[in-house]
Structure 1
Amino acid sequence: MFGLEEDLYAQLLRLRDQFEISYIKAEFEAEGSSFNDLVRLRRLTALAGLGLLLKVGGCEPVRDLRDSLELGVDGLVAPMIESPFALAKFWESVNRVYPFGRKPRLAFNVETRTCLDAFDEILDYAEGKMDSFTIGRTDLAGSFMEPSVTPDSDFLLNQAEKVATKARSLGWDVWMGGSLSRTSVDLLSTRTALRGSISHFETRKVVVAAPILWSHPEVIAEALRFEELFLMSRQEIQENSVREDERRLAALRHRS
């Protein structure tokens, strides 16, 4: 560990010790994490005794799943699931790569209008296969393609509340993510039915248990600080690598 990575690890321990964080997230999907990014996060989370969740790049991401097996991730998340068939492809892919023993924790994202239309059928197929699902507010809002529909709009939160309360009544573990801020937390806290249906909230990098979020809303700022330090640390490593390449290029040009 060197440079900003020490600060990153210190922030990870702060999240663990002060806010009882149990999972850190990474993405091959929208975030486009590299394999090296995943190696670093796996190393740091293992040192801290925390789990690592990986959002893969689609519903049949065999290459991503093989990487997840090598890394020993603790959970897998399928994005943009819009039909039972898409979830079936994810389930079949996981079973191809993890044919023996215990599988990682499995989840899928509810984050499009199309998914809402097929939600009952998707949930029926997911029973006994998936451990939870996450309502992704940002993409869900975007899928309506209406400027007035934002992650914090009444319309979007009403849609999320219908999904969450229905699934919770059936015994599902429901998570929520997407553009979380202190303002979002204040708004969500006023919606009793929604508040009682969500067990965990996600930033891009950190999973927060709902009771912690309600009692310590400052955890959002600390989670975003972890993401900031992760990006700064990655940039530091990349810049050092570029400097080494520049030195070598200069030496080669001097010889020619």
Structure 2
Amino acid sequence: MNILEKEMLSLLKNGKNTFGFTHVRAEFESEGIRDDELFRLVELAFRADLNLIIKVGGCEAMTDLLKAKQVGASTIIAPMIESSYAVCKFIQSADRVYSEQERSDMELFINIETIQGYEQREAITEKIVKHNLKGIVFGRVDFCGSLGMSRRDVNKPEITRRIKDVASLCQAKNLQFAVGGGIDAESVPTLRDISASYLNRYETRKVVFDVSTLSHSLAQQGLIEASRFELLWLRNKCNYYKMISAEDQNRLKMLERRIISLAA
């Protein structure tokens, strides 16, 4: 491990012990994580004794599901679910990758993150219950986008009201409910408001928290630490690809000189 990775590992261990970190996250969807990056994240999660969540690229993203199985993800999230049929397609795909026994150890979630998905929430929830999925993640940023609103609007009451509608539905059906999208230290009052209705966990791009963290004064600091982890992650990623891009520069220059010399 390099210096940045050691710092990330220390941060994750402290996050688990102090700030309620439960998982690290990777996305094949909007993040577009590459295999070599994923393997580094898996090692960090393993050493920090944290679970791994993977958000796949779609309800039928078979290759993503196979990779999630390969690296031992404990939780898989299917994005942009807008109908009960999309839930069925996700279940069919997961059943092709995981055996019934393996499924019993998995947490399968779907993402509601558009107004269309919100309007179909009851039909979607019925299908989730029927096929024993774990629950729903509400994605605030894309939800705002589907309403023509911006990322800055994620904490507005009209968004929180709709989140609570889905939360109440999950509670009634004994499903888990999580919130993501634009989660930072400024989101804590809104998250506490949601948790007063029903909430199991909340998530940033790279880190997931147990809802119990919201009950004490370290909640905001925990989200700052999650942002610091992502910052370190991106710095390490940039350094890694800079090294790759630079490793053949000397040979490139030598070949260019050779061609110019022979062509002269």
TM over 0.5: yes
Tell me the residue number matched to 1:94: 94
CA distance in 2, matches of 1:146, 1:238: 34
CA distance in 2, matches of 1:124, 1:199: 19
SS at match of 2:33: coil
Deviation at 1:213, TM superposition (A): 2.8
Q: Does 2:75 match 1:75?
A: yes
Deviation at 1:156, TM superposition (A): 0.7
Q: Does 2:165 match 1:162?
A: yes
2:3 partner letter: G
**Quick check: which has more Rg, 1 or 2?**
2
Q: Does 2:216 match 1:205?
A: no
CA distance in 1, matches of 2:42, 2:59: 23
Tell me the residue number matched to 1:237: 240
Q: Is the 8 A contact 1:51 1:74 kept in 2?
A: yes
Deviation at 1:123, TM superposition (A): 0.4
Bigger shift: 51-60 or 63-72?
63-72
Tell me the residue number matched to 2:224: 221
TM-score computed with the length of structure 2 as normaliser:
0.91
Residues 149 and 243 from structure 1, CA distance in 2 versus in 1: closer, same or farther, beyond 3 angstroms?
Answer: closer
CA distance in 1, matches of 2:206, 2:123: 30
CA distance in 1, matches of 2:33, 2:150: 29
CA distance in 2, matches of 1:196, 1:99: 35
CA distance in 2, matches of 1:38, 1:93: 21
Tell me the residue number matched to 1:43: 43
From 100, 109, 112, the equivalent of 1:110 is: 112
Q: After superposition, what is the alpha-carbon deviation per residue over 1:116-138, rounded to whole angstroms, capped at 9, x for unaligned?
A: 11111110000142112111111
List alignment gaps of at least 5 residues for structure 1.
none
Higher helix share: 2
CA distance in 2, matches of 1:10, 1:234: 18
SS at match of 2:53: strand
Residues 135 and 254 from structure 1, CA distance in 2 versus in 1: closer, same or farther, beyond 3 angstroms?
Answer: same
Bigger shift: 171-180 or 243-252?
243-252
TM-score computed with the length of structure 1 as normaliser:
0.93
CA distance in 1, matches of 2:173, 2:101: 27
Q: Is the 8 A contact 2:136 2:170 kept in 1?
A: no
Percent of counterpart pairs with the same letter?
30
CA distance in 2, matches of 1:79, 1:195: 26
Alignment of 1:5-24 (within 5 A): 5-24=5-24
Deviation at 1:18, TM superposition (A): 1.5
Q: Is the 8 A contact 1:133 1:173 kept in 2?
A: yes
CA distance in 2, matches of 1:38, 1:14: 21
Q: After superposition, what is the alpha-carbon deviation per residue over 1:128-176, rounded to whole angstroms, capped at 9, x for unaligned?
A: 4211211111111111114699211111111111111232122121111
The count of corresponding residues between Structure 1 and Structure 2 is 254
SS at match of 2:111: strand
CA distance in 2, matches of 1:188, 1:74: 24
